[in-house]
């Protein structure tokens, strides 16, 4: 059983739609309980949890804040070293 999926959002409009909308629907249909979206376009992260057949955002933050993954994972992920696209130490690319 897959407990969570992590997505790092891409930079193009098509990829952003795919990561935020299309994959969200597919993962919900598959019954994956937690969807963590890391978005270097605006240096944010979002935890979505399955509520029936759809995801509901249950936590969000910015790079530098720890990500508190819900149970049964129950641990945090550090984002202190993460940078937005085009930022210092980032992976390159530009914001869409």
For the segment 71-86, what is each residue's pLDDT rounded down to a tens digit? 888 899 988 888 888 7
Given a cut of 50, is residue 95 above it in pLDDT?
no
For 22, residues 6+ apart whose C-beta sits below 8 A from its C-beta are none
> How high is the pLDDT of residue 91?
40
> 3-class secondary structure for the chain?
CCCEEEEECCCCHHHHHHHHHHHHHHHHHHCCCEEEEEECCCCEEEEEEEECCEEEEEEEEECCCCEECCCCCCCEECCCCCCCCCCCCCCCCCCC
How large is the average pLDDT for residues 5-25? Answer: 91
Q: What is the dihedral of CA 71, 72, 78, 83, to 10 degrees?
A: -90
What span, in angstroms and rounded, lies between the C-alpha atoms of 30 and 40? Answer: 26
pTM of the predicted protein model? 0.81
Digit-coded pLDDT (tens) for 34-73: 999 999 999 999 999 999 999 999 999 999 999 999 988 8
Percentage above 90 pLDDT, the chain: 66
């Amino acid at each position: 059983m897959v407990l969570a999926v992590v997505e790092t959002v891409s930079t193009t409009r098509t990829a952003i739609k795919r990561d935020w909308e299309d994959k969200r629907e597919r993962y919900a249909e598959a019954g994956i309980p937690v969807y963590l979206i890391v978005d270097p376009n605006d240096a944010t992260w979002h935890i979505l949890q399955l509520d029936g057949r759809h995801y509901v955002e249950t936590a969000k933050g910015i790079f530098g804040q720890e990500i508190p993954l819900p149970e049964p994972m129950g641990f945090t992920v550090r984002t202190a070293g993460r940078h937005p696209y085009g930022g210092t130490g980032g992976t390159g690319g530009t914001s869409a």
